[in-house]
Chain A
Amino acid sequence: MRLELKNLYDDFRDPDTIKALAKLIYNEAKGLQKPVNIMEVCGGHTHTIMKYGLKQLLPESIRFIHGPGCPVCIMPKERIDHATILARQPDVILVTLGDMIKVPGSRGSLQQARSEGADVRFVYSPLDALKIAKENPDKTVIFFAIGFETTTPMTAALIDRAEKLGVKNLLYHINHVTVPEVMRELIDSRDEHIDSYNNRIDAFIGPSHVSVIAGAKIYKEFPKRYGRPVVVSGFEPVDVMEGVWMLVRQFVQNRCALEIQYRRSVTMEGNLTAQKQIEKIFEKRGLFKWRGLGNIPHSALKLREAYAHLDAERVYADILPVEEIEDHKLCICGDILRGMAEPTECQVFGTACTPSKPLGSCMVSSEGACAAYYKYGDLLK
């Protein structure tokens, strides 16, 4: 049989399987002592839950909390300002991935900069930046690198390839962030807000694509140290439903473990070659500011000293501001990213803040919780 894309997802969207899993969850959930709040860390999962209406299939005792795992949502205005300032430099081409060009900083978005004449391009793969650099030898191409563990190896591969080819006009502005540190932050910082939102994270659904690279091992501490079970799940509806079922079973059986639902690609160890490549080029940053969440220690990467000459932040240090910028007063994206508020609790949701005119980052990204609520409507029961 010829392997086609269709074969790869058809079974994971099979209506009978989804319905059967919903029944299993319903039956299992009868044994729960109290309701369970499950945080899906990744925006991709939020998107799946909303797009396929999975919330409607679950009993009231199971509740999803949307997490901070969207690379666009968590990008602070300061970093977007860096991007727009760099894009406006003479003879600079700024290259980035998808949705990033829509996010507003304090000086507008990359889309706006582009409409004013800046050369901003989005690519499907970071390696396309290399092609752009080669085709424009008289320009400086700056790759504005974003994303979690999933996209980091591609940036590492780009840097490695460009260095081997001796490409001199390609610089990097690195904004790669890591998942475990922000999960830790969410649990540690929870108490100060708990009274106002009466919320808590009981368990996590971990994104499979992060663990394809970094392994499931990165979540070991959560069941052990924090008493929160984690199931690493895929993004198809059947994957998410099975992940939820696995978590509910843990609660009913009074277990607290790290489990892998997405066994077809995720191992405990992950992709060791990719990890080695990342290790060669990147090191942890001391602090990185997350939009709405503030500074989180060791939660992002930067280029190692050996690659410092390629770091756009250093090369353009004179023109890149370092002051912190406050988020919009009415925007509660921070609380939404912490899992402490639902998008519909925001007073500007769907009014002053919509996907075509977003105030906050959760409305900008197609994977943001607000955008998902707005787009798919959480009104249908």
Chain B
Amino acid sequence: MKKTITLAQGNGGAENHALIKEVFWRHFGNEILDRGEDAAILETLQRPAFTTDSFTVTPLFFPGGDIGKLSVCGTCNDLAMMGGKPRYLSLSVVIEEGLEMRSLEKIVRSVKKELALNGAIIVSGDTKVVPKGSVDGLFITTSGIGERQCEGIGINEIRQGDAIVVSRDIGRHGAAIFAAREGMELQSALKSDCASLWPHVASLLDAGIMPHALRDATRGGLAAVLNEWADANNLCIEIEEEEIPVSDEVRGICELLGFEPAFLANEGTFVMALDPADVPLVLEILEAFPGGEMAMRIGEVKGDYPGKVVLNSPWGTRRFLDWPTGELLPRIC
């Protein structure tokens, strides 16, 4: 096979078939996919959950992950956040002509590795090749079906008095991508938090913890999740600024560019609303996962300013933590 992807490999003919067979099927092969039918026939699931997401990231490979890992984590995490064990995924790729075959292989291997962590398989897929300049390297769309292991997790279950917990330090993915994209020469060990969250959720459920709501804080970061929750329930979420875990590296990048960590994306960090009595055990369980020693109770659900998120400073002042708006742009001066 050629060293770079050519338009001919998306022609639906022999070259296309060879690409699918030698790259995708070779790594993802399983009983359902191997049948090569137009649609995958799946076993009946008790409480199915279904989700889909598209992934575009520059650069394709970043510290802590790549677009392949991201595309599995993103979809599986959406299922996990509803208490769903990831089972079946579809994977659709749009490849820019000229992408190195080595890069594609690396991405596919990364997908395979992350699938294993979730106990999920690829059962359906699609490959398109488009002329140079049409997409930025490679776009991936994954859809996923999971099986809910419990009832009662959802945005409407959040109630006054709930504790708010984050699973680790925030803003790593956004900061790592910014640093990598802008070629900032940072001498730091900053890596994206990109990770699968089903193992975390499974451990919580196994221990008998029943969170009221879970949400992975992806684009829009912690601020977007909290505002969504406050808005949906017309409740006030009150957060202690001092308690929000942020690494020194992320804080440094935020200082340089004028960002706030709460607005930066995460790809392996989630927020929980739960019974305050469960917090100590939850923090103990999360400690076993990478970054989990930074998990923190950051606030609680109140009624003071309905629909708003209030941030309390360590020096006794209060302000709103608003929705992120517009493009993230560095400040001028």
Given contacts A53-B313, A71-B332, contact A380 B326 (CB under 8 A): no
Query: Is B252 among interface residues, defined by CB-CB distance under 8 A?
Result: yes
Is the CB–CB distance between A374 and B322 below 8 Å? yes
**Contact residues, A147-166 vs B (CB, 8 A):** 147-148, 150-151
Residue of A nearest to B251 (CB): A6
Nearest CB of chain A from residue B147's CB, rounded to whole Å: 38
Question: Which partner residue on chain B sits nearest A7 by CB separation?
Answer: B248
Interface residue tally for chain B (C-beta within 8 Å): 29
Interface centre among A15, A50, A365 (most CB of B within 10 A): A15
A380 and B333 contact, Cβ closer than 8 Å, known pairs A5-B255, A50-B319? no
Interface: A27 (CB within 8 A) = no
B1 interface residue per 8 A CB criterion: no
Residues of B within 8 A of A15 (CB): 242, 313-315
Query: At the interface, yes or no: B316 with Cβ under 8 Å from chain A?
Result: yes
CB-defined contacts of B316 to chain A, threshold 8 Å = 19, 56-57
Bound CA span A374–B323, Å: 11
Question: A50 CB to closest chain B CB, in angstroms?
Answer: 7
Shortest Cβ distance from A17 into B: residue: B315
B329 close to A (CB within 8 Å): yes
A366 to B331, CA, bound (A): 7
Contact with A along B224-264 (1 / 0, CB 8 A): 00000000000000000010000010011001111000000
Residues of A within 8 A of B310 (CB): 380
Residues of A within 8 Å of B322, CB to CB, are 374-377
Q: Is A227 part of the contact surface with B, judged by Cβ < 8 Å?
A: no
Q: Which residue of B lies closest to A354 (CB)?
A: B325
Q: Which of A97-105, A198-206, A242-250, A300-308 contacts B (4 or more CB under 8 A)?
A: A97-105
**Residue A355 at the chain B interface, CB threshold 8 Å:** yes
Is the CB of B44 closer than 8 A to any CB of chain A?
no
Whether the Cβ atoms of A356 and B317 lie closer than 8 Å is: no
Encode A26-49 as 1/0 by CB contact (under 8 A) with B: 000000000000000000100000
B21 adjacent to chain A (CB < 8 Å): no
Q: Contact check, B332 vs A97: say whether CB atoms are below 8 A apart.
A: yes
Minimum CB–CB distance from B101 to chain A (whole Å) comes to: 27
Residue of A nearest to B318 (CB): A380
Which residues of chain A come closer than 8 Å to B256, judged between CB atoms?
5
* B residues in contact with A99, CB < 8 Å: 329, 331-332
Expressed in whole angstroms, the minimum distance between the Cβ of B247 and any Cβ of chain A is 10
CA distance A57 to B251 in the complex (A): 25
Of the candidates B308, B325, B329, B333, the one whose C-beta lies within 8 Å of that of A148 is: B333
Q: How far is the CB of A353 from chain B (nearest CB, A)?
A: 13
With A53-B313, A356-B326: A375-B320 Cβ-Cβ less than 8 Å: yes
Query: Which residues 172-187 in A have Cβ within 8 Å of B in the complex?
Result: none
Known: A6-B248, A6-B251. A53 touches B319 (CB 8 A): yes
* Chain B residues with CB under 8 A of A19: 315-316
- Asked if A101 contacts B329 (CB within 8 A), the reply is yes
Contacting residue for A355 out of B242, B325, B331, CB 8 A: B325
Chain B residue nearest in CB terms to A238: B315
A57 surroundings in chain B (CB, below 8 A): 315-317
User: Do A367 and B332 contact each other (CB < 8 Å), given the known contacts A124-B182, A356-B325?
Assistant: yes
Known A-B contacts A6-B252, A124-B182; the reply to A100 vs B332 at CB < 8 A is yes
Q: Which residues of A contact B327 (CB under 8 A)?
A: 102, 111
| A:116-140 near B, CB below 8 Å | 122, 124
Chain A contacts for B305, CB-based, 8 A: 379-380
A151-B333 in contact given A4-B252, A50-B319, A376-B320 (Cβ < 8 Å)? yes
Does residue A316 face the partner (Cβ distance < 8 Å to B)? Answer: no
> Which residues of the other chain, B, contact A237 by a CB distance below 8 angstroms?
315
Which single residue of chain A is at the shortest CB-CB distance from B333? A150
Nearest chain A CB to B79 CB, angstrom units? 31
Q: A209 to B333, Cβ gap below 8 A?
A: yes
* A72 interface contact, C-beta 8 A: yes
What is the distance, in angstroms, from A101's C-beta to the closest C-beta of chain B? 7
Q: Shortest distance in angstroms between A69's beta carbon and chain B's nearest beta carbon?
A: 9
Instruction: Give bound CA distance, A100 to B252, whole Å.
Output: 24
Q: How far is the CA of A150 from the CA of B333 in the complex (A)?
A: 7
B289-333 near A? 1/0 per residue, CB < 8 Å: 000000000000000010010100111111110100111011111
Residues of B within 8 A of A18 (CB): 315
A376-B318 Cα distance, complex, nearest whole Å: 9
Q: How far is the CB of B302 from chain A (nearest CB, A)?
A: 13
Contacts of B308 in A (CB 8 A): 377
Supply 11 A–B pairs (Cβ within 8 Å), ascending by A: A5-B255, A19-B315, A52-B317, A56-B318, A98-B330, A99-B331, A111-B327, A151-B333, A356-B326, A376-B319, A379-B320
**Other A-B pairs beyond A15-B313, A72-B332, A124-B330, 20, CB < 8 Å:** A4-B248, A4-B252, A5-B252, A5-B255, A5-B256, A15-B315, A18-B315, A53-B319, A56-B316, A57-B317, A122-B329, A146-B332, A147-B332, A237-B315, A355-B326, A356-B325, A356-B326, A366-B258, A367-B332, A380-B305
